[in-house]
A = this chain, B = another copy of it.
């Protein structure tokens, strides 16, 4: 449930890097045990033996602490405005563009590492799902005026199936010609799929 031993050694108590690492280790244990929603910065601070103000000092918000603990190199909540800026009829295309802007950037390989971790460790997958759902999917669908909970949950899972499948084939398995395809080609091919999953007829 915690990071490697290497992260815990080589720094003395009182050293800022030691304190930061102790907070992250406590956060990983707390998130793994209680999920994102039921973990508080206060509880993480108590486990790490530091003042909550120090956790805020190092990591800012609980979101930031969570992303740092799981080595996620980008705050997906910051990407939501890019996706919803064009309204619901452009959401599919903007969604794939937004993901590609991260994956095809220098931060992409760290993002791919997170996907590998999620596949290898179910508790990481559950945590990430809870975070992405509550911090990204709910607000984004609400902004787009898609409020029916059961319908929204189905659509969100279908979106995840194609977006994560794209990450898997293009960036992890590196299947050609998808791995080398231009952003424009990927958007033309996958954008309409996401658009249909977000606003179109998905049956039942």
Contact = CB atoms under 8 A, between A and B. Distances in A.
Given A160-B175, A163-B165, A165-B165, 18 more contacts: A118-B173, A119-B119, A122-B174, A125-B173, A129-B175, A154-B178, A157-B175, A158-B190, A160-B165, A161-B170, A162-B162, A162-B165, A164-B165, A165-B166, A165-B169, A187-B203, A188-B202, A189-B203
A55 to B, nearest CB: 29
A172 to B, nearest CB: 6
Contacts of A153: 176-177
Interface stretch (A39-47, A99-107, A140-148, A192-200): A192-200
A169 B173 contact: no
B188 A204 contact: yes
The quantity of this chain's copies bound in the complex is 2
A120 B173 CA distance: 10
Contacts of A169: 157, 160-161, 164-165
Nearest to A132: B175
A165 to B, nearest CB: 2
A184 interface: yes
A33 interface: no
